[in-house]
Each structure stands twice: as C-alpha cells, then as structure tokens.
Amino acid sequence: MAAYRLTAKAGQVSLVGPSYPETRIWGYGGKVPGPVLRVRQGEWLRVAVENRLDEETTVHWHGVRVPNAMDGVPHLTQKPVAPGETFIYEFDVPDAGTYWYHPHQRSFEQVARGLYGPLIIEERDPVAVDRDVIWMLGDWRLRGDAQIVDDFGNHMDVGMAGRIGNTVTINDRLPTELRVRAGERVRLRLLNAANARMFALVFRGHRPLIIAMDGQPVEPHEPPNGRVVIGPAMRLDLMIDMVGDPGTRHEVRDSFYSTNAYTLTEIVYSDAQPLRRDPPGAAVSLPPNTMPEPALDRAERHDVVFGGGMMGRGMMSRAGGMTR
Ligand SMILES: [Cu+2]
C-alpha cells in the first residue's frame, strides 16, 4: 500500500530562471509538477486530495484502470471537491507503467496553470537500467514578466489547435542538460503535460528504443525516422544506451513544428571512463500487463449509411472499448 496527500493550491515557482520573477501557478503542494507518486503494480494506492483552491476540483488518474467512482470526472463519477474539502481516492493498480494525474474539472485552465504530476507504477520485475529518469514536458503561455497569460478558453484556441504556449519546460524548469556517463543505460519516461503542444524529439548520436506507450509495454522499437513523437497527455518510455564518448555533448532537438524547430536540451557526458565497454545485453522488453488485448479476429464490421449512400465503410469497426 502506498499513501499520499496532495494539496491543490496556489504557489510560486521559478519557471524561467532567476532573471525573471517567480511565476504564480496552481500546483499540488503549491509546486509543479506535483510529487512523483510511486506504487508497486498490484498494490493499493490511497491519495487524500485536499482542495485549497478558490474553485472546485477533482483528480483523474490518466490511463490507470480504476473503479468508476475513482475516475475523477466531476458530476459524472463524483461530486467535485469543493474548496476546503478533502476527497480520498483509493484503488488498486493493475497495470505497471508511466501515468499521470491531473484535474478533470476545468482542465483547460487547471492543468495549464500547473496542476499535474507523474504517477509511476513499478513493475514487479523491473527491467535492469542504471537510471530511471522522468521528463514531464510542460508548455506555458507567459507574459514578459513570467506570469501566465490569463486567456483560458478563448475562442481562437478552442477553435484552432488548442492552447499552445511560448515556453517549454522539463519538470517545470527551463530545460537543463541531461548529464550522463558513457555506457549508462537510462530509462527515460517522457510525459507530455502540455495542453496542446506536440513534440518530436531527436536524440542526436543516440538510438532510443520505445519500450512502452501510454503506460503499456510494446515491442521495443526505434521510432520512425528517429523522431520520438509525443502528443498531449501521452507517455512514452524510452530505453537509451549512452553510446557517446566521455566529454561529448549531443543535442536533443524538437522538430515537430518544422518551421519552429529548436534545441530542447543536450545530453552531456562526463569525463568519467565508460561504465561498460558494450551496451548491456539484457532484454529491454517490459513484462506484459494484465490489460486485455482487443480480440480483432472476432471484431464485427459495421457499415455506416448516410442519406442512402454508403460512406465511411468500416469507420465504426472497433473491438472492445477504448479508455482515455
Ligand atoms: Cu487525462
């Protein structure tokens, strides 16, 4: 059993460094991201959520198979948590993987103000890595004085590509370099907490393998064209062997918006001797979860008829439900 307490409240963080004022945010514990919640697969998770905001909130456990009453959807699965109230979420966690938590109450503002954090459900038999690193990608729309632009839900964003910001962060700081030692094997858990921004990361000089998507293990594979593409709310677990030479630097570039590509950060090698000569040979496949696979061989095809004509043949075919 793992027990945590999350307090949703206003706070101030140094989002863009010491040359700017601190940014007023909403966060769990007044920080952003919220604390890393860790629990072992199959264990019981209990989180007391205290609301010290001036408005109602809930917490949704994104991607985790929870009992309906724990899903955090206001007015549907629970009454929203009123200011001053505490709500206890508790459930067991059937699937290992990289997940996150955030409100489902006015998410377009509450998430964009910083209410989110990582939820790591550890495998019973974890794969062997030298380090487990979390990168929670954030995207903020800030004014020149580093304060959040207060235009949530405006028609332009809602009608277009969503709220894309002007300041990208990793773990809610301006990205700092990832310092590594040659020969290390790193599990990099990427979480995209941005409301709308997509990322396509290229790790120059490295060949990351995707080992899980949205928490669920996949056959380890290199991303197409070496671009690690991650949309809002997605998670990707990467396995990266640090094959660079001691003392070298390697760019991590985000090229999703091709006219706006930029250096997100750098992988920087220490001068230390390589940890090992060759990458470790151990399997990188994660053990399968208990999530049922869709039975595609028994899927039914539904033809959709509009106005007498046949359109979108197969549009509705789908085996089993999808979760979000
Ligand atoms: Cu979500």
**Residues 77/69, Cβ–Cβ less than 8 Å:** yes
What number of residues does the chain have? 324
Which band of pLDDT confidence, cut at 50, 70 and 90, is reported for residue 301? confident
Does domain 132-269 fall into CATH 2.60.40.420?
yes
Multiple choice CATH, 2-125, 3.60.15.10, 2.60.40.420, 3.55.40.20, 1.10.10.10: 2.60.40.420
Q: How many angstroms separate the alpha carbon of residue 139 from the centre of ligand 1?
A: 16
**Residues 51/82, Cβ–Cβ less than 8 Å:** yes
Structure tokens at 215: 């928490």
pLDDT at 322 over 80: no
Cα of 228 vs its chain's centroid, Å? 13
> How many Å apart are CA 93 and CA 64, to the nearest integer?
7
pLDDT in tens, 81-104: 999 999 999 999 999 999 999 999
Q: How many angstroms separate the alpha carbon of residue 233 from the centre of ligand 1?
A: 6
**Residues 36/2, Cβ–Cβ less than 8 Å:** no
Q: How many angstroms separate the alpha carbon of residue 223 from the centre of ligand 1?
A: 24
Q: What ranges make up the beta strands (E) of 103-255?
A: 117-122, 131-140, 167-170, 178-180, 185-192, 199-203, 209-213, 216-221, 228-230, 235-241, 249-254
> How many Å apart are CA 112 and CA 153, to the nearest integer?
11
Supply the DSSP symbol for 87: E
State pTM to two decimals. 0.89
Q: How many angstroms separate the alpha carbon of residue 152 from the centre of ligand 1?
A: 18
Q: Which of 28, 32, 24 is nearest to 191 (CA)?
A: 32
Q: How many angstroms separate the alpha carbon of residue 123 from the centre of ligand 1?
A: 22
Distances (CA, A) of 69 to 52, 62, 82, 84, 301: 22, 14, 17, 21, 32
Q: Which of 26, 28, 34 is nearest to 10 (CA)?
A: 26
Q: How many angstroms separate the alpha carbon of residue 183 from the centre of ligand 1?
A: 35
pLDDT at 229 over 60: yes
Which band of pLDDT confidence, cut at 50, 70 and 90, is reported for residue 124? very high
Q: How many angstroms separate the alpha carbon of residue 260 from the centre of ligand 1?
A: 27
What is residue 307's predicted lDDT score, i.e. its pLDDT?
61
- For residue 33, cis peptide bond before it (omega within 30 degrees of 0): yes
Q: How many angstroms separate the alpha carbon of residue 83 from the centre of ligand 1?
A: 22
Q: How many angstroms separate the alpha carbon of residue 186 from the centre of ligand 1?
A: 26
Q: Which residues pair with 81 in a beta bridge?
A: 57
> How many Å apart are CA 115 and CA 134, to the nearest integer?
17
pLDDT at 314 over 80: no
Which band of pLDDT confidence, cut at 50, 70 and 90, is reported for residue 321? very low
> Hey, do 2-125 and 132-269 end up sharing a CATH topology, with the first three levels equal?
yes
Q: How many angstroms separate the alpha carbon of residue 180 from the centre of ligand 1?
A: 31
Is pLDDT larger for residue 172 or for residue 45? 45
Q: How many angstroms separate the alpha carbon of residue 60 from the centre of ligand 1?
A: 6
Question: Residues whose CB is under 5 A from ligand 1 (ion)?
Answer: 62
Q: How many angstroms separate the alpha carbon of residue 247 from the centre of ligand 1?
A: 40
Q: How many angstroms separate the alpha carbon of residue 282 from the centre of ligand 1?
A: 33
pLDDT in tens, 15-50: 999 999 999 999 999 999 999 999 999 999 999 999
Mean pLDDT of 292-310: 76
pLDDT in tens, 273-291: 999 987 787 768 898 887 7
Torsion of CA 68, 73, 74, 79, to 10 degrees: 30
Which band of pLDDT confidence, cut at 50, 70 and 90, is reported for residue 308? low
Domain parsing of the chain, residue ranges: 2-125, 132-269
